[in-house]
């Protein structure tokens, strides 16, 4: 007599039926969309994560260009921001940080505008990892550890 697979007690104990044959729901794939400089929303097509990472890389190149174009001004604002942090002037620090972000985002004549990316269905493993990186943490089987959030910029957001 041949052995059959694991049988459930819920009534489907027909011969040959096993847990392995039952199947399961597919994993929820993350979706995503971009918001361009004009505020128009466009869904990402195909492999959302691959396309999203490509856009993030493009944004990083644009950000580097914007900083390099205004390097002297950027360095001066950054220096002033460090002074504000050391003096404890939070309002000045926040205002200077906003100026740095405006330069990074290309909000000046000749600047390259960044594309905002939003990942949806953030319950997927990859999107959850990206969300944790944005928060500066990495979750492993050994626990939760702080990491640098390299590659997850201000242009990336997450929603359920």
Instruction: Output the 3-class SS for the chain.
Output: CCCCCCCCCCCCCCCCCCHHHHCCCCCCCCEEEEECCCCCEEECCCCHHHHHHHHHHHHHHHHHHHHHHCHHHHHHHHHHHHHHHHHCCHHHHHHHHHHHHHHHCCCCCCCCCCCEEEEECCCCHHHHHHHHHHHCEEEECCEEEECCCCCCCCCEEECC
Confidence of residue 26 (pLDDT cuts 50, 70, 90): low
Choice between 10 and 37, residue whose per-residue pLDDT is larger: 37
pLDDT in tens, 48-82: 777 888 888 888 899 999 999 999 999 999 999 88
Q: Where are the domains of the chain?
A: 32-61+115-160
**What pLDDT score was predicted for residue 152?**
61
Rounded to two decimals, what is the model's pTM?
Answer: 0.62
pLDDT in tens, 97-118: 999 999 998 998 999 988 888 8
């Amino acid at each position: 007599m041949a052995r059959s697979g694991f049988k459930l007690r819920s009534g489907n104990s027909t011969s040959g039926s096993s847990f392995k044959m039952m199947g399961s729901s597919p994993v929820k794939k993350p979706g995503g969309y971009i918001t361009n400089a004009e505020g128009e929303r466009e869904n990402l097509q195909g492999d959302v994560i691959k396309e999203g990472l490509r856009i993030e890389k493009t944004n990083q190149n644009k950000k580097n260009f914007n900083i390099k174009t205004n390097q002297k001004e950027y360095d001066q604002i950054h220096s002033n921001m460090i002074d504000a942090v050391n003096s404890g002037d939070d309002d000045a620090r926040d205002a200077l940080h906003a100026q740095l972000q405006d330069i990074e985002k290309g909000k000046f004549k000749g600047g390259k505008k960044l594309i905002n990316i939003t990942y949806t269905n953030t319950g997927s493993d990859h999107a959850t990892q990206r969300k944790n990186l944005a928060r500066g943490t990495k979750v492993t089987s050994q626990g939760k550890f702080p990491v640098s959030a390299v590659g997850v910029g201000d242009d990336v957001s997450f929603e359920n």
